[in-house]
Amino acid sequence: MIVGRLSSTMWLHLVVILSSLQIQTVISIDTKFPQSVCEIQQKDGDYIIGGIFKMYASDTCDGEMLTDRMSFIEAMTYAIEAINNRTDLLPGIDLGYEIRNTCDDEDITMWTIISLASSPGTYTDTCPHPKRTNTGQLIGIVGPARSAISIIAAKVGRIFAIPVVSFYATSEELTDSERFPFFFRTVPSDQYQAKVIVDILHHFNWKYVALFYSLDSYGIHGARELVRLAETFDICIVINMPVAVALPASEKDIKDIAAGLSDHDKVSVIVSFLEERGALAVQQAVRRLETSRKLTFIGTDGWNPTFDLFSDFADVLVGGIFIQFYSELPETFPEYYSELPNNREQSSQWYQETLNQISATDNCTDRTSCPVPEVHWNTQQVISAVYALAYALDASVQRNPHQNGSSDQTIDGWLLKKNLLGISIPLGADKYFRFDQNGGVPGKYQITNWQFNGQYDLKNIGTWDALQDTQLSLEEDTIQWATRNTKVPISLCIEECQTGYIPVPQEKKCCWGCQKCNDFAIIVKDNNASICQDCLNTQWPDENFTTCVLIEESFLGYRDPVFILSVIGAIIGIILTALAAAGLCYYSEHFLIKACSRELSSINLIGLGLLCVVVILNLLRPTNTTCVIIDVFISTSFCISFAPVLLKVNRIWRIFSLKPGQYRLPFTSPRSQLIIVACIIMIEVLIAISSLSSARSKPDILIPPERKPYLEIYCRFGNGFIVSCVYNAIIITACSYYAFRARRVPDNYNESKFIALSVYSTLIVCLAAIPVYTTAVDVAQKIGALSAPLLLNTYLSLLCLYLPKIYAIRYKTASSTHRSPSRRKSQHIGQGINTISDGELFNTVE
CA distance 828 to 686: 42
Q: Tell me the pLDDT tens digit for each residue of 751-808.
A: 666 677 777 777 777 777 778 877 777 888 888 888 888 888 888 888 877 777 787 7
Q: Which of 411, 497, 419, 458 is CA-nearest to residue 160? A: 411
- pLDDT score for 842: 38
Residue 326 exposed, middle or buried by CB count within 10 Å (0-12, 13-18, 19+)? middle
Strand partners of residue 550: 539
Q: Do 605 and 581 form a contact (C-beta atoms < 8 A)?
A: yes
pLDDT of residue 541: 92
pLDDT digits (tens, 9 = 90+) for 250-298: 888 889 999 999 989 899 999 999 988 889 999 999 988 877 788 999 9
What pLDDT score was predicted for residue 367?
62
pLDDT mean over 82-107: 91
545 pLDDT above the threshold of 50: yes
Select from 469, 388, 387 the least CA-distant residue to 436: 388
pLDDT (mean) for 377-406: 80
Q: Which residues contact 596 (CB under 8 A, 6 or more apart)?
A: 648, 751, 801, 805, 846
pLDDT band at 416 (very low <50, low <70, confident <90, very high): very high
Contacts of 137 (CB under 8 A, 6+ apart): 2, 46, 47, 48, 410, 411
Q: Measured between alpha carbons, how far is 288 from 495 in angstroms, rounded to an integer? A: 27
Q: In the structure, what pLDDT confidence band is assigned to residue 697 with cuts at 50, 70 and 90?
A: confident
| pLDDT exceeds 50 at position 587 | yes
C-alpha distances in Å from residue 717, one per residue of 207, 693, 728, 768: 57, 13, 15, 18
Look at residue 770 in the predicted model and tell me its pLDDT. 77
* Nearest Cα to Cα of residue 309 among 278, 348, 344: 278
Q: What is the pLDDT of residues 648-659, one digit of tens each?
A: 877 777 777 766
Task: List the one residue out of 624, 674, 625 whose CA is nearest residue 647.
Answer: 674
How do residues 1-48 score in pLDDT, each as one tens digit?
343 444 444 444 454 454 444 434 443 444 457 777 788 889 999 999
Task: Kindly report, residue by residue over 472-486, the tens digit of the pLDDT.
Answer: 999 999 999 988 778
Q: Half-sphere exposure (CA, 13 Å, Cβ side) for 813?
A: 2
What pLDDT shows up at residue 753? 67
The whole-number average pLDDT for the span 410-431 is 83
Reported confidence tier of residue 72, pLDDT bands at 50, 70, 90 = very high
Amino acid at 648: K
Q: DSSP letters of 249-267? A: PPHHHHHHHHHHHHH-TT-
| Integer Cα distance of 753 and 796 in angstroms | 12
Instruction: Summarize the confidence of residues 157-176 as an average pLDDT.
Output: 92
DSSP 792: H
At residue 429 the predicted structure's pLDDT band, cuts being 50, 70 and 90, is low
Kindly give the residue spans of alpha helices, DSSP state H, lying in 46-105.
Answer: 70-84
76/411 Cα distance (integer angstroms): 21
How many residues would you count in the chain? 846
Residue 555 has pLDDT above 50, yes or no: yes
Q: How many CB atoms lie within 10 A of CB 779?
A: 21
pLDDT band (50, 70, 90) for residue 821 = very low
Average pLDDT on 505-509 reads: 85
Which position has the higher pLDDT, 446 or 586?
A: 446
Portion of the chain with pLDDT greater than 90, in percent: 27
Q: How far is CA 8 from CA 2, 5, 244, 312, in A?
A: 16, 10, 40, 56
**Tell me, what's the pLDDT at 745?**
65
Average pLDDT rounded to a whole number, residues 373-401: 86
Q: Is residue 818 over pLDDT 50?
A: no
| 792 or 195, greater pLDDT | 195
Read off the DSSP letter of residue 271: E
Q: Counting beta carbons within 10 angstroms of the beta carbon of residue 165, is it exposed (0 to 12), middle (13 to 18) or buried (19 or more)?
A: buried
CA distance 637 to 793: 11
When comparing pLDDT for 67 and 406, which is higher?
67
Residue scoring higher pLDDT (113 or 652): 113
277-291, 400-414, 579-593, 691-705 — which is least confidently predicted? 400-414
Percent of the chain with pLDDT over 70: 85
Q: Read off the amino acid at residue 47.
A: Y
| pLDDT, mean over the chain | 81
CA separation for the pair 592, 584 (Å, rounded): 10
* Single pTM value for the model: 0.60
Calpha distance 833→821 (Å, rounded): 11
- pLDDT in the model for residue 830: 34
Q: Is the predicted pLDDT of residue 471 greater than 90, yes or no? A: yes
pLDDT at 693 over 80: no
How far apart are alpha carbons 255 and 266 in whole angstroms? 19
The pLDDT value recorded for residue 15 is 45
